Every structure is written in structure tokens, then in C-alpha cells.
Chains A and B, each alone.
Chain A
């Protein structure tokens, strides 16, 4: 029952947030520009085309009518056509979604697998050289421009050493589309060659994206561990003669990770933002590459569609994380 209340509570907040996002994008695309129709038409459009588009989009109507129509069209799944590909923007975005999700999910898993143990060790050996070293390394990891790091990795490992492919998801055609996630599709099809190839293509983009994500996880796990280690129940359990290892890995870690779980939403945001440029460098056919190509070709509808889709994904992830957090930590349910 409490969980139900929590879910309803968070869902009630979801709708206004989404409306707010649409309002911001509407403001950016319809209110800021002097002539939005010219943007949608592209740089080479004739005045007649622009006038036709203005009438078709209802840009001669009052703003609140425009906003209402904008929301209706988004709910209808209509974000206009891309000038670049000529297809509806929604179709373009959805067809590239699995590539980005696969990259992001693998990166999150790698970051957790590396970051959580490092954070625990840093907290247990507080103020050791290892702790200080990790502090500097994590700060450095958050200071690297991911597009630059991606280019350096590509320069060294792909161009000079030839160890990893230059870019893309696989050599030639991907596996038969089942889920759109190449790793899963290759596993289902028992195609080990493609699986290996897809993994090789994934190494550099995942490493690039994982650097800031891992740094964030290390820092939050360390802070959470330190907080938990100072609590009274640890004192109690130690006094009761519980083995130190049991106290740390079972009771302390479990409480320390609550903070880390809430950070996954934040990390997802870091990854989506990083994916924009990292995908473009590695020619990864996902949302990021699509966004960069749209920016370069001044494809206005596509850029705004990208903003709405990524914003919505981010809001949904945070909603799920909020609900998960409430389920793990009963104190959150009030």
C-alpha cells in the first residue's frame, strides 16, 4: 500500500514535469526565433515555401493555440520531418534508440562493476595514498572532455596500433534484428563471430563514457561508506563481536549503496550527454550521431525532437530511480 502511494505520488509529478519540458522546448523553438517557419524550412527554402510552412504549422495563430497544438502533435508522435533524411523525425529517433541504449546500459554495468569496489576500498583506507590517488584520478576523470578523450583513444588504439576498429557497431551488416541490441541478438542467434565483433567495436566508446560515470560512482560510494561506517549500528555490531568483514560487506555496503542507486539517474544523464559527442567520434549509429548530423545540417525539427526524446528518457529514468529508492529505503515513503 505504501509502495502504491509512492508510485502514484511520483507519477503525479511526472506529468507536470513532462509538460514543463515541452513548454521549454516550445519556448525555444516557437518563441525565441524571429521566424520559426524559416528554421523548419531550412537555409535554402524559397519565401513561398516558408509562407506555406507557416500556414501549415499554424504559426499565424496565437501562442496558446500553438502550444496546445504542439502538445497534441507530440502526444500523437509527430515531431515533423527531418530535412536531412526526409523521414518523420520520430521514426529516425526510434530506429537509433537501441544502439544508444545498448551503449549506455553496458557502460552503466561496467562503471558499477569498477566503481563500487574502488569506492569501498577508498573509504576503508581513508587518507591512505590509495584514497588520495583515487581522489585525484576521479577528479581528473570528471575534468576530461569526453570528445577529446574519445579522439585520443581512437588515435592511439585504432589508427596507430590497429587493435580496435575505427568506429561503427559491427563490421558490415549487423545480426538479424530481433531486439535491436546487437549483443543480445547475437547471443540469441548463437553467432559468436558477430558477438565478438560487436564487443570489439564497443570497447573504446564504453571506456570513454565509463570514465566520468565511474568517477561519479567511486565518489558517491566512498561518501556513502564513510557515512555508514560512522553510524551507531556499526559500533553496536562491532561491539557485539561480529566479524569485521561481515559488518562491512553485508550491513555497511547495503546502506552505503542507497546513495549510489539514486546517483544512477544522474549518471544516466552524464552518459546521454556524453553519448552525443562520443557516438559522433566513433560513428556509433545512435541518437548522439543523429543529433550531431542534425546540428551540422541545421536540421531544426530533428534537433528539437532529439531534445524532447532525451529529456523524456531522462525524466523516466529518474522516476524509476525514485520509485526504486523508495522501495529500498522505507524511510523515503512518507
Chain B
């Protein structure tokens, strides 16, 4: 564990990613204290609508005269809520399916994998659009649409890893010692494949945030006056090219957060993936 952290600390790009994620979490937790106009999530001041960035409104105001900086901070809460919950549900569905299907190979597991293949055979955003359109715009429905379309990624990954892990001597030893299948899966196989799951989850966070923002942009996200970042960009389009700040800053926020998860995921993969590590040694 310490070795992993040290290697990760040497990777400046991954560290930067970690800093970006840290900023997102801080922004979400400290939103009431960091924001200059905490009331502006629901209040509006039409007298000062579409003011350019300045001393009073650091990132300008929107069509309602609300402070964009303050709304972005509260938007971070929505982003984290959606991404963390959706991914947690997807992992909670995908990992057990992959584990069981990989451990017991039979018609049942074949069927489970075929089902996840079908989900993977359609672009995630397209399925998410169909589900969100049916359920109606709300935070819960965005989470549902995302977890329903993303779980097969973990099922596929865990299935493949479990299968290749199953013939390793340590698993055979555990079975020979009389461990129950359940115990073998949870205590022996799961820990040894956890690094791949961590890498996949980190990168998955970035993808989920992008998809959630796209749903918001399409009007399928949480309804106004929720300060969701994607929806804010959609609102801003009417006021271009004049109010550039209205569209520019929410997009920048999305970009920095997704970039943070992607950089960290990329760094983690280099550190955790044993196959890449071997390749690196071979190189030297």
C-alpha cells in the first residue's frame, strides 16, 4: 500500500488529478461558506441579469441575475451526488454478477454475460436518454438511468478477472482447505482483483459525470432552479455571443472535474496494473 502511494506521488499528472478531485469535494462540502451569494440558488435579482464577471459577481450573473460562481459551487453537490450514487449502484450490481458468473461457469453465467454484452452493444448515452425520457427529469431518475446503463462495465471486467484468477494456486488452495465458494469469492478472489475494479471505477466516474452533464444539457436532468452544470450551459445558449461567461464557466467546471478523475485513473492504472508494470521493467 505504501509502495503504491509512493509511486503515485511520483506521477505529477495523477497528483494533479487528485488535487482537482479534492477541490470538487471541498467545493461541494463548503458551498455555503465559499459562495458569495448563497441564496442565489433559488433567489433572483432581475435588475442585474447577465452582468459580466467583476468584483461583486466573480464569474458574472445568469439570466435571472443570480451569481454564477455561487451556483457552480452548489452544482458541485449535484454532480457528486449523481456520480457517486450512480457508480455505487452500478458497482453493487456489476461486481457480484461478474464474480458469480466468473466463478460458476454454466448456462446461467453465459446468459448473464450475454445480457451485459447487449447493454454494452448500445452507446450508453443513447440508452440513458431513452430511460431518462421515460422516467421524467429528476436527480433520482438520472441516477437510475446511469446505473442501469453502466453496470455491465463492471460485470464484464470482474467476470474476466475472476475467470483468469480461478485457476491460480491460491484459489485452488483455498478450495482444497474447504472454504465455501462464497468465502473464496469474497475473501480470496475479490481482494486480488480489486485494483482493476478501482481503476475502472475511477475512470468510470469521469464518464458518468460527462453523461450526466449531457443529460442535463438535453433537459433530462434535475429541473430548474437546480444549478446543474449541463442545464446551465443549455440555458446560456440563448444569450451568446454576449454573455460568454454564462456558458464558459460551467463547462470549465465539468472539464476540470472529469480531467481530475481521468488523470488519477490513468496514473492508478500505471501503478496498479501488473501487466503494464512488467512491460515497463522489460523496457529498462
In the complex, residue of chain B having the shortest beta-carbon distance to the beta carbon of A158: B241
Residue on B nearest A230 in the bound complex, by CB? B282
Is the beta-carbon distance between A24 and B230 smaller than 8 angstroms?
no
The answer to whether B121 and A21 touch across the interface, beta carbons within 8 angstroms, is yes
Q: Chain A residue with minimal CB distance to B118?
A: A20
Q: B62 → chain A, closest Cβ, in Å? A: 15
With A32-B135, A139-B262 already in contact, the answer to whether A148 and B122 are too (CB < 8 A) is no
| Nearest CB of chain A from residue B80's CB, rounded to whole Å | 17
A314 to B119, CA, bound (A): 12
Taking a contact as CB atoms closer than 8 A, the residue among B118, B250, B266 that contacts A17 in the complex is: B118
**A230, B279: Cβ atoms closer than 8 Å:** yes
Q: A151-B240, A159-B241 are in contact. Are A142 and B130 (CB under 8 A)?
A: no
Other-chain contact of B251, A17, A29, A152, A291 (Cβ < 8 Å):
A152
Which residues on B sit within 8 Å (CB–CB) of A276? Answer: 125-126, 129, 214, 218
Whether A155 contacts B218 by the Cβ 8 Å rule is no
Docked complex: B76-104 residues within 8 A CB-CB of A: none
A39 touches B134 (CB 8 A): yes
Q: What residues of chain A lie closer than 8 Å to B254, measured between beta carbons?
A: 145, 148
User: Contacts A25-B130, A151-B233, A277-B217: A126 and B283 contacting too (C-beta < 8 A)?
Assistant: yes
Supposing A126-B283, A230-B282 touch, asked if A145 and B126 sit within 8 A by C-beta, the answer is: no
- A281 cross-chain contacts in B, Cβ below 8 A: 237
What residues on B are CB-neighbors of A17 within 8 Å?
A: 117-118, 121
Q: Mark A246-281, 1 if CB is under 8 A from B, else 0.
A: 000000000000000000000001101100110001
CB within 8 Å of A: which of B211-257? Answer: 213-214, 217-220, 230, 233, 236-237, 240-241, 244, 247-248, 250-251, 254-255
Residue from the set B236, B237, B282 with the largest chain A CB neighbour count within 10 Å: B237
B237–A295 touching, CB < 8 Å: no
Partner of B115, one of A20, A139, A291, A314: A20
The answer, yes or no, to whether B258 is at the interface (CB within 8 Å) is yes
Known contacts A21-B121, A145-B214; is-contact A303 B129 (Cβ 8 Å): yes
Known contacts A20-B118, A147-B214: does B126 contact A32 (CB below 8 Å)? Answer: no
- Bound together, the chains give a CA A311 to CA B126 distance in angstroms of 8
User: Is chain A's binding surface mostly helix, strand, loop or mixed?
Assistant: helix
Q: Is the pair A155, B130 in contact by a Cβ cutoff of 8 Å?
A: no
Q: Interface centre among A33, A160, A310, by most B CB within 10 Å? A: A310
Contacts of B240 in A (CB 8 A): 151, 154-155, 159
Q: Does A304 contact B (CB under 8 A)?
A: yes
Residues of A within 8 A of B250 (CB): 148
Query: In the complex, what residue of chain B is closest to A311 when comparing beta carbons?
Result: B122
The answer to whether B126 touches A272, judged by C-beta atoms less than 8 angstroms apart, is yes
Q: Report the Cα distance A27→B166, complex, angstroms.
A: 35
Q: A269-B123, A295-B218, A295-B219 are in contact. Are A148 and B134 (CB under 8 A)?
A: no
Residue of B nearest to A139 (CB): B262
Q: Is A290 an interface residue (CB 8 A)?
A: no
Contact of A151 among B130, B214, B251 (CB under 8 A): B251
* B213 surroundings in chain A (CB, below 8 A): 145
Q: From the candidates B134, B244, B262, name the one contacting A143 in the complex (CB within 8 A).
A: B262
Q: Say yes or no: is B263 at the interface (Cβ < 8 Å to chain A).
A: yes
Complex contact B123–A273 (CB within 8 A): yes
Decide if B266 touches A139 in the complex (CB within 8 Å): yes
Q: Within the complex, which residue of A24, A291, A296 is in contact with B219, where a contact is CB–CB below 8 Å?
A: A296
Contact B114 A303 (CB under 8 A): no
Contact residues in A for B197 (Cβ distance below 8 Å): none
Given the known inter-chain contacts A126-B283, A135-B266, A230-B282, please indicate yes or no for A145 contacting B251, CB distance below 8 A: yes
Whether a CB of chain A sits under 8 angstroms from the CB of B179 is no
Q: Shortest Cβ distance from B253 into chain A, in angstroms?
A: 10
**Separation of A291 and B213 alpha carbons in the complex (Å):** 17
Is the CB–CB distance between B219 and A145 below 8 Å?
Answer: no
A136 interface residue, CB < 8 Å from B?
Answer: yes
State whether the Cβ of B133 lies closer than 8 Å to any Cβ in chain A: yes
- How many Å from the CB of B187 to the closest CB on chain A? 33
Given known contacts A155-B244, A295-B220, A145 and B117 CB-to-CB distance under 8 angstroms: no
Using a CB-CB cutoff of 8 Å, which residues 173-225 of chain B contact chain A?
206, 210, 213-214, 217-220
| In the complex, chain A residues whose CB is within 8 Å of the CB of B279 | 226-227, 230
In the bound complex, what is the Cα–Cα distance between A143 and B262 (angstroms)?
7
Measured in the bound complex, the distance between the Cα atoms of B114 and A295 in whole Å is 30
Alpha-carbon gap, A172 to B58, bound state (A) = 42
> A310 vs B244: C-alpha distance in the bound complex, in angstroms?
33
How far, in whole Å, are A304 and B220 apart by their CA atoms in the complex? 15
Cβ of B255 and Cβ of A307 under 8 Å apart?
no
- Give complex CA distance A17, B115 in Å: 9
Contact residues in A for B157 (Cβ distance below 8 Å): none
Please give me the residue from chain B that is nearest to A136 by CB atom: B13
Using a CB–CB cutoff of 8 Å, the interface residues on chain A facing chain B are 16-17, 20-21, 23-25, 28-29, 32-33, 39, 126, 132, 135-136, 139-140, 142-145, 147-149, 151-152, 154-155, 159-160, 226-227, 230, 269-270, 272-273, 276-277, 281, 291-292, 295-296, 298, 300, 303-304, 306-307, 310-311, 314-315, 318
B contact residues vs A (CB 8 Å cutoff): 13, 114-115, 117-119, 121-127, 129-131, 133-135, 206, 210, 213-214, 217-220, 230, 233, 236-237, 240-241, 244, 247-248, 250-251, 254-255, 258-259, 262-263, 266, 279, 282-283
Given contact pairs A147-B230, A148-B247, A151-B240, enumerate 7 new A-B contacts (beta carbons under 8 Å): A28-B130, A39-B134, A145-B233, A149-B251, A276-B125, A277-B217, A303-B133
Q: Can you list 12 A-B pairs with a CB-CB distance of less than 8 A?
A: A24-B118, A135-B266, A139-B262, A139-B263, A147-B230, A154-B240, A270-B123, A273-B126, A276-B218, A296-B219, A306-B126, A315-B121
